[in-house]
Amino acid sequence: MPDTVFTDVRRFASIDSTNRYLLDEARAGAPAGVVAVADHQTAGRGRLGRTWEAPAGANLLLSVLLRPGLAPDQRHLATSAVALAAVDAVDALCAPAGPGAGVGVKWPNDLVARDGRKVAGILAEADLASTAPGSPDPVVVGIGLNVNWPASDDDLPPELRGVAGSLRQMVGAEVDREALLAALLAALGPRVGALATGAGRARLAADLRARCVTLGAPVRVDLADGSFTGTATDVTDEGHLVVDAGGVTRTVVAGDVIHVRPAG
């Protein structure tokens, strides 16, 4: 797969949701690699009906259309590929601000600052029913990355105070959104290309482990049919989280998770 396929970038001043837009485009047969970028979303969505907040013009709000041809139990790696591309972009732009400026991956779908605040959320949505015969399943992966908002906790609604953070807070200065977008699009090519081979997927999983702040931490895992606590010990090559729950090893699939929270 060529390294740079993300050149069809469609920009919106305002849209309901870039994920919704690309899912509709996928149904209409759009090819892999289309990118939708919005200055503002009126109905930005998170997982399980949750909403994504961002004022106009401050943050990165984008989705990419992939057709990765992954087996069902590997699909979470598409989310991981986009997460790692965002990590690469943040490394490239924010590293000069010092080692504290890096972000970690909180399994399954968040990027967090050193202080644990969420600086990005990722939402993968697939529409398997719409797949045309012979064409790989579309997966739309959207990311909301807090670039310049919030500037401080005062900017946040009460429920996000102490929870949400931004790159601007991490580096102590405004971050160039366009430069970050360019770095993210450049990183997406190799990261998504890696999904196509076993060796590439193993490399993605290894990079994910290296940046995953959930590993080694006590966690409480909320599933639709109950909760359990334990210590996160590994991420499998398919991107699933392995948790040692009191001597019993449980493998958690991203799609089944309502929340993974710090335990205790």
Judged by CB under 6 A, which of 1, 9, 56, 160 binds ligand BT5? 160
Q: Which of residues 112-141 bind ligand BT5 (CB under 6 A)?
A: 118, 121-123
Judged by CB under 6 A, which of 26, 32, 61, 139 binds ligand BT5? 61
Spatial CA neighbour of 211 closest among 99, 107, 116, 141: 107
Residue 257 found at the interface with ligand BT5 (CB under 6 A): no
Judged by CB under 6 A, which of 74, 79, 80, 146 binds ligand BT5? 146
Q: Which is nearer to ligand BT5, 161 or 197 (CB)?
A: 161
Judged by CB under 6 A, which of 87, 139, 143, 215 binds ligand BT5? 143
Residue 142 found at the interface with ligand BT5 (CB under 6 A): yes
Residue 52 found at the interface with ligand BT5 (CB under 6 A): yes
Judged by CB under 6 A, which of 10, 27, 46, 135 binds ligand BT5? 46
Judged by CB under 6 A, which of 23, 34, 54, 180 binds ligand BT5? 54
d(CA 164, CA 259): 16
Query: In angstroms, what is the minimal distance from the CB of 127 to ligand BT5?
Result: 14
Q: Which is nearer to ligand BT5, 41 or 74 (CB)?
A: 41
- Contacts with ligand BT5 by CB under 6 A lie at 17-19, 41, 44-48, 50, 52-54, 61-63, 109-110, 118, 121-123, 142-144, 146, 160, 163-164
